[in-house]
Amino acid sequence: MIINYGNSFPFVKKAKNMFFPLEYLASKKEFEDFNKNNYKKEIVDKFWLQATGNLERAKELIRIYYTRVFWSNLYFSTYKEGWKTDRGMVYLIYGIPTKVLKSELYEKWFYGESYSSKYMNFTFKKNEKSISNNDYNLIPNPKKENWLEAIDTWRNGRIFSIDLK
């Protein structure tokens, strides 16, 4: 299977391509504003500046977030861009797992230490019917409050870490 996502893939360089990976962080209204404004980079910049309140901090978060988009695209792409996959989504928000266990049909990602109250894991099951050998689906996890905390942390201008108190 050969899919062409553009000349700069797996990098994200155009404003239009920079906003869409924010779907995990942006509100519905922010997405509508972006679409209304013809995908202008100013909307992307405004999103990060509002989150951080500071230009230098915004630049740092942009660097980290879009580096994660790059690695998601590189490692998790299937018939869709890597950041759009379940593994890409988790990687964008949580970063590199503390530990990964792999088997023929599953991947299990662990974040934090097992004795920590914030310890989390995500299990991905290989989609055996997919045209891609790299397609995994997230098995739902009932700990939604940790996900919401992670999103809120990013929206408040900080990089989420399981170790945050």
Whole-number average pLDDT of the chain = 87
pLDDT per residue as tens digits for the range 77-87: 998 999 999 99
Which single residue is written with the structure tokens 């690695």?
71
For residue 141, give its domain range.
15-155
Q: Is the pLDDT of residue 165 over 50?
A: no
Regarding beta strands 106-111 and 136-138, do their DSSP bridges make them parallel or antiparallel, or are they unpaired? unpaired
Q: Tell me which range, 34-43, 85-94, 150-159, is most confidently predicted by mean pLDDT.
A: 85-94
Q: What confidence tens digit (pLDDT) does each residue in 21-60 have?
A: 998 998 888 888 887 877 678 888 889 999 999 999 999 9
Q: Is residue 121 part of a domain?
A: yes
Residue 2 lies in a domain: no
pLDDT at 4: 59
pLDDT reported for residue 115: 80
Residue 34, in any domain of the structure: yes
Alpha-helical (H) ranges within the chain are: 15-19, 28-36, 41-52, 55-76, 86-94, 144-155
Distance separating alpha carbons of residues 124 and 4, to the nearest angstrom: 25
Tokens 């109250």 sit on residue:
117
Residue 165 lies in a domain: no
pLDDT, tens digit, 9 for 90 and up, residues 104-133: 999 999 998 878 777 889 999 999 988 888
Cβ count near 106 (within 10 Å): 13
User: Residue 34 has what pLDDT?
Assistant: 80
Spatial separation of the C-alpha atoms in residues 132 and 36, rounded to whole Å: 34
Would residue 161 count as lying in a domain?
no
pLDDT 10s digits, 129-138:
888 889 999 9
Number of domains in the chain: 1
7 domain-assigned: no
| 5 part of a folded domain | no
Assess if residue 3 is contained within a domain. Answer: no
